[in-house]
Structure 1
Amino acid sequence: MTNLKFHAPSPADLEGGLASLRGDCARMAADWTAPARTATRPVSPALIGGVEVPAGSARLLDSMSDYGD
């Protein structure tokens, strides 16, 4: 079995700000590709069904204010 070791090119800057985060994202962007766009069609309401919400979750959402706390 091969022992693969991965090393970050630079140490993580845990105390960095937004500029540091944006720089990290810019460096990683080249490693990710966006999927091809696909056309979406509306779904008939008749096909949407069978959604079950646990009672505890429903009570939690019911007890929340409409505009946040």
Structure 2
Amino acid sequence: MTNLKVHAPAPVDLEGDLASLRGDCARMAPHWTAPEKIATRPVPPSLIHGVTVPAASARMLEAMPDYGN
């Protein structure tokens, strides 16, 4: 027979936990920087190979309005 031990849930101290988390984040923020934004160009359709689209999906996309993108 398995003897399962049931532990009472930890007391909820949202303010203390949130303050602690915010402090941890503030201390770690200088160590984590966002990468430089790299401008990418669209891939020309001639380089896209092996993509198949079901006919129903193609018809649905064809029927969608073009927003000038």
Pairwise TM-score range, normalised by the shorter structure: 0.3 to 0.5
Bigger radius of gyration, 1 or 2?
Answer: 2
| TM-score of the pair, normalised by structure 1 | 0.33
Going by fraction, where is helix more abundant, 1 or 2?
Answer: 2
| TM-score of the pair, normalised by structure 2 | 0.33
